[in-house]
Structure 1
Amino acid sequence: MSTEAVSRPTYGNWRRPRRPGLGPLGLIGTFGVFGGLVVVLLASLISLYAALVLAVPIIAVLTPLTIRTQDGRNAYQMVTLRIGWWRRKSKGAHLYVSGPLSSRPGGRYRPPGLLNKVTASESRDAYDRSFGVLHHPARNLYTIVLGCEPDGGALVDPDQVDVWVALWGEWLSRLAHEPGLRGASVIVETAPDTGTRLAHEILPRIKDDAPTAAKEVMEEVVERYPTASSEMHTYITLTYGVPGGQKRPKEEVIADLAVRVPGLLNGLVAAGGGSAYPLSAERIAEVVRVAYDPAVAADVLNARAEEGGTGLEWDDAGPAATLETVGNYQHDSGVSRTWLMTLAPRGTVRSSVLRGMLEAAPGTRRKRVALVYRPIDPATSARIVEQDRRSAQFMATSGRGMVQARAASEMRAAEQTATEEASGAGLVEFSLMLTITVDSVAELADASVAVRNLTAASRVLMRPADRMQAAAFSCTLPTGILPWEQTLIPNELQEAL
């Protein structure tokens, strides 16, 4: 009797984008170093004292660029973050009050912060299904939201899981060829089951003349089952932009998106997404409303089961009041804290590396894990891959000892990336955000411990989004908020820093 070893595929080979410039200085810091050297050398021709007078401030300005945190931020960026927080707090921007008793015009409950100027529209796709479109007027972006019910990995053959992973990678690579696509995100939301759907399914079917024991058993199932179960929802957001200089009517952009929805849904179904469907504007508003006020989740489910819908509009999807602090975000009936990924899992991982993080966390009201993707067009991908390949070859041939061994490993990874890109694979920048919502501030400490355990099991390093909790909370909602599109400094300049 012989046994055959079954090898499971592993995944990895992701790396941070290489920062241009010398070491931690960045491109701007490198230009500053060389420019400062030229100025100091010219001043030294006049006198040594003049050269010292110029060298001291240049060193003082460039030194903070060499001080980097684990996620790559320099000292200037850290100081800017704190100054921005102090300015918002001094102006009272960390407080938000809406509704008829507030000073805001209209007297409605519009979502706060980055979502305050967003508007919602609705259209129908080629199969006559309604879908909502969120318009971000500040950047002239349009977002569609797709929902799906993934099949899960329980009782599924490993070969089928590998096929799903491959098809999901193919779906992501296709995003680079989507005209006008600026970014995409996958949000997995988990929460304790309220038992509303189970009650609406079972209780109306209990006959009056049924045996007493049978009725008591079914009623006990309805009462006790939700305490040990959870509900999970998966949303995919796709955010499109209009090329600069073009003035396309809003109706024309929405009509263009309606043509793309069926093809995107078919790709999700093939990648293990199960039943995939577009979300209507009402359904998007319901998701945002429940995120800001988790206590109304059961009421929303009741209204949908009894009336077929809630009739909720986007202008009433926000909270009545919010308070942002350094480490948390208080909103209506919940308190949330958001974490940002600083380092992806090192080495190779299995396809189930994030399973523990995606499952429901005990002791929390709601939990959302958002994977944010930024597709890179094929031309830019080829240039980036080739630059990384040349840089890795240079480091491998110029180092010694342990540095040379590490550079050789990086060169092999760069060669593999170049080979895969040449064979048709796409290049995507990605990040991960996690939001935990509890009932009170006192429960955040236990929730933080649970998050540390989840991230450690998934081999992901994360840090709290301190002093930007409100913005980070909005980024984990299925509303198409792309972090790199919301910065005052252009993304190209930030990469140069």
Structure 2
Amino acid sequence: MSTRMYGRWERPRSAGFFGLTWGASMAGLGLVIAIMATFMTTRSLPLTGLSITVAAAIFVPLVITHNGRTGWEIAVLRTQYAMARSRGEQVYHAGRFSRIPGTARLPGLLADSRLSEYETAGGKRFAMLHIRRTDHYSVVLRVIPCGKELVDQHQIDAWVEGWGQFLAAQSRGGEVVAVTAVVENVVETRLKQRREVARLVRPDAPEFAQAVMREAAADVGGIGVRLEARIALTYRAIGKGRIRRDVAEQAREIGQRLQGVLSHLARAGLPATPLQAWEVIGLVRSRYDLASQRDVEAAGPDITTTQSWDTAGPVAHQDRWDHYCHDGARSITWEMDAAPRGAVFETGLEELLRPRADVPRKRIAIVYRLHSAAEATKLVDSDFRDALAAEQTERGIASASASLRVGNTNAARQEQARGAGLTRFGLLVTVSDHLQADLPGIEASVKGMTDASRLGVRRCYGSQAATFAASLGIGLILPEHTSISKRVSA
């Protein structure tokens, strides 16, 4: 049993009057002033009553929240969804008989993405994804996590500490927008093992040795589900002037940083290798079209002879309010609503990550949005001041909670001063299955796994296609594409 626990996470929240946020408090104060000005200038009770009604209609949805969203957020989201539905933006058709025949580009937020491949000075080839709307560049790394079996607890603690140092190192320069860690359960086809064994076995090897290797490739045991892990690093454009607009220059700058990234990950017990272009194409293709997984794994590097980034998307999809249909499959994505309450051990997400036969295709993506050192200093000081203000204005149970927040934010200030990084994080859980899948059963399974991990999650209503793409772990950062103003958010 581990004696080291992890926690002290706090959701940033500005302190205002009566436990409200600072923005809601200022809005309420402005509405009160407007009501008083109306009465003083008109001396009309009907007009004053009308202004009070209008102010209440504006203010009440701003302070009442449901599932972490204000009333205005919910109203805007439903309006945007209804407008998109009326314009037919929910439905996507590609392929042979589409408006652009022969292509199946990725839909939605990934539509303007471009994939290219470059080589580092050390000879490592890596794929780089450029999302032009936000001018972000992403590199995806395949990771082979070290298991905890027969590993001493101090080594596990050292790996966790190494992961924290890795995140802190990436945040110092301010170039990394986010780090996305993905752990995915996929159906086991055994094709990768057989191809690897065929590569390793020499024709002149003893027959017995060849038979043992073939048997090992054919019998992987377990429940027919394998675990894959990857990490995506998303960079903002590096440099100035022409360099910022030159994709090749960006690849050169990122390639120079890759060796340091791989070294940091190795110290965290996460040996990593950059994915090449054909691997990224196969990854995305098999997630949008579940039936293509066997063909993609059988093709291997030869997939580029028949597929490209312009054909990696679905032939058809439909973005519905509570689920996402794509190429004969159905996916549901949940987002983290609340972090685990209190401190947890390093095994906190073990139940959620463990492969299960009843949920064979499951993807957990943890998105770390990094602050630079300069931003972190300002933010931890601001959070501490807001926590002190909340503690002085709240009473009862709220005051006890505010006191805990003061302790947590003060600890964050001290740790940041000693060199730790400051990170916002969120989590997406995506489950994919065939169209005839048992959706209530899937939801019950996910609820049980998240409850065991002490996570609060909610379904991503009205944004299933976007969150599905973000959970792929290829560099799409949703907060950079938000369509709702922060003024009406919680």
TM-score for both structures, normalised by structure 2: 0.90
Is 1:256 matched with 2:235?
no
Q: Which residue of 2 aligns with 1:16?
A: 11
Q: Which residue of 2 aligns with 1:288?
A: 284
- How far is the alpha carbon of 1:323 from its aligned partner? 1.8
TM-score for both structures, normalised by structure 1: 0.89
Q: Contact 1:339/1:434 (CA < 8 Å) preserved in 2?
A: yes
The amino acid of 2:237's aligned partner reads V
Q: Paired residue for 2:51, among 42, 51, 54?
A: 54
Q: Contact 1:192/1:226 (CA < 8 Å) preserved in 2?
A: no
- How far is the alpha carbon of 1:396 from its aligned partner? 3.7
Give aligned pairs, total: 483
Q: Contact 1:292/1:333 (CA < 8 Å) preserved in 2?
A: no
The amino acid of 1:98's aligned partner reads A
- How far is the alpha carbon of 1:310 from its aligned partner? 6.3
Q: Which residue of 2 aligns with 1:67?
A: 64
Q: Secondary structure at the residue paired with 1:419? A: helix
Q: Which residue of 2 aligns with 1:167?
A: 162
The amino acid of 2:30's aligned partner reads G
Q: Whole-Å Cα distance in 1 between the matches of residues 414 and 382 of structure 2?
A: 14
Q: Which residue of 2 aligns with 1:97?
A: 93
The amino acid of 1:358's aligned partner reads L
Is 1:340 matched with 2:335?
yes
Q: Contact 1:146/1:277 (CA < 8 Å) preserved in 2?
A: yes
- How far is the alpha carbon of 1:64 from its aligned partner? 0.7
Q: Whole-Å Cα distance in 2 between the matches of residues 190 and 413 of structure 1?
A: 35
Q: Contact 1:438/1:444 (CA < 8 Å) preserved in 2?
A: no
Question: Residues 71-115 of structure 1: CA distance to partner in whole angstroms, max 9, x if unpaired?
Answer: 2x1111111111122222222211111112111x25212111111
Q: Whole-Å Cα distance in 1 between the matches of residues 173 and 101 of structure 2?
A: 38
- How far is the alpha carbon of 1:365 from its aligned partner? 4.2
The amino acid of 1:462's aligned partner reads V
The amino acid of 1:59's aligned partner reads A
Is 1:148 matched with 2:143?
yes
Q: Which residue of 1 aligns with 2:131?
A: 136
Q: Contact 1:294/1:365 (CA < 8 Å) preserved in 2?
A: no
Larger mean Cα displacement after TM superposition, 128-137 or 14-23: 14-23
Q: Secondary structure at the residue paired with 2:66? A: coil
Q: Evaluate the alpha carbon distance shift between residue 201 and residue 392 of structure 1 in structure 2; reply closer, same or farther with a 3 A threshold.
A: closer
Q: Whole-Å Cα distance in 1 between the matches of residues 383 and 192 of structure 2?
A: 52
Q: Whole-Å Cα distance in 2 between the matches of residues 218 and 284 of structure 1?
A: 28
Q: Which residue of 1 aligns with 2:297?
A: 301
Superposition pairs of residues 219-368 of structure 1, within 5 angstroms:
225=220, 228-242=223-237, 246-247=241-242, 248=244, 249-274=246-271, 276-304=272-300, 312-368=307-363
Q: Evaluate the alpha carbon distance shift between residue 474 and residue 51 of structure 1 in structure 2; reply closer, same or farther with a 3 A threshold.
A: same
Q: Secondary structure at the residue paired with 1:474? A: helix
Q: Paired residue for 1:186, among 181, 187, 191?
A: 181
Q: Secondary structure at the residue paired with 2:294? A: helix
- How far is the alpha carbon of 1:301 from its aligned partner? 1.8
Question: Residues 173-196 of structure 1: CA distance to partner in whole angstroms, max 9, x if unpaired?
Answer: 112113432222111111121122
Q: Whole-Å Cα distance in 2 between the matches of residues 465 and 403 of structure 1?
A: 29
Q: Secondary structure at the residue paired with 2:438? A: helix
Q: Contact 1:281/1:313 (CA < 8 Å) preserved in 2?
A: no
Q: Evaluate the alpha carbon distance shift between residue 271 and residue 324 of structure 1 in structure 2; reply closer, same or farther with a 3 A threshold.
A: same
Q: Secondary structure at the residue paired with 1:197? A: helix
- Structure 1: tracts of 5 or more residues without a match: 1-5
Q: Which residue of 1 aligns with 2:27?
A: 32
Q: Paired residue for 2:453, among 455, 458, 467?
A: 458
Q: Whole-Å Cα distance in 2 between the matches of residues 310 and 345 of structure 1?
A: 46
Q: Contact 1:392/1:410 (CA < 8 Å) preserved in 2?
A: yes
Q: Evaluate the alpha carbon distance shift between residue 220 and residue 146 of structure 1 in structure 2; reply closer, same or farther with a 3 A threshold.
A: closer
Q: Whole-Å Cα distance in 1 between the matches of residues 488 and 55 of structure 2?
A: 21
Larger mean Cα displacement after TM superposition, 8-17 or 152-161: 152-161
Q: Whole-Å Cα distance in 1 between the matches of residues 369 and 447 of structure 2?
A: 26
Superposition pairs of residues 433-472 of structure 1, within 5 angstroms:
433-472=428-467
Question: Residues 279-313 of structure 1: CA distance to partner in whole angstroms, max 9, x if unpaired?
Answer: 112211110001011222222222228x5976632
Q: Contact 2:223/2:356 (CA < 8 Å) preserved in 1?
A: no
Q: Contact 1:339/1:465 (CA < 8 Å) preserved in 2?
A: yes
- Aligned-residue identity in percent: 30
Q: Which residue of 1 aligns with 2:472?
A: 477
Q: Evaluate the alpha carbon distance shift between residue 464 and residue 140 of structure 1 in structure 2; reply closer, same or farther with a 3 A threshold.
A: same
The amino acid of 1:475's aligned partner reads A
Q: Paired residue for 2:388, among 386, 393, 398?
A: 393
Q: Calculate the aligned-residue CA RMSD, in Å.
A: 2.8
Q: Whole-Å Cα distance in 2 between the matches of residues 425 and 402 of structure 1?
A: 31
- How far is the alpha carbon of 1:466 from its aligned partner? 1.6
The amino acid of 1:65's aligned partner reads L
- How far is the alpha carbon of 1:147 from its aligned partner? 1.4
Q: Secondary structure at the residue paired with 1:228? A: coil
- How far is the alpha carbon of 1:57 from its aligned partner? 1.0
Q: Whole-Å Cα distance in 2 between the matches of residues 23 and 396 of structure 1?
A: 11
Q: Whole-Å Cα distance in 2 between the matches of residues 308 and 115 of structure 1?
A: 21
- Structure 2: tracts of 5 or more residues without a match: none
Q: Whole-Å Cα distance in 2 between the matches of residues 415 and 444 of structure 1?
A: 44
Q: Whole-Å Cα distance in 2 between the matches of residues 475 and 114 of structure 1?
A: 9
Q: Contact 1:13/1:347 (CA < 8 Å) preserved in 2?
A: yes
Superposition pairs of residues 404-419 of structure 1, within 5 angstroms:
404-419=399-414
- How far is the alpha carbon of 1:402 from its aligned partner? 3.9
- How far is the alpha carbon of 1:483 from its aligned partner? 0.7
Q: Contact 2:140/2:274 (CA < 8 Å) preserved in 1?
A: yes
Q: Evaluate the alpha carbon distance shift between residue 244 and residue 44 of structure 1 in structure 2; reply closer, same or farther with a 3 A threshold.
A: farther
Q: Which residue of 2 aligns with 1:3?
A: none
Q: Contact 1:194/1:226 (CA < 8 Å) preserved in 2?
A: no
Question: Residues 126-145 of structure 1: CA distance to partner in whole angstroms, max 9, x if unpaired?
Answer: 21111111111112221111
The amino acid of 2:255's aligned partner reads A
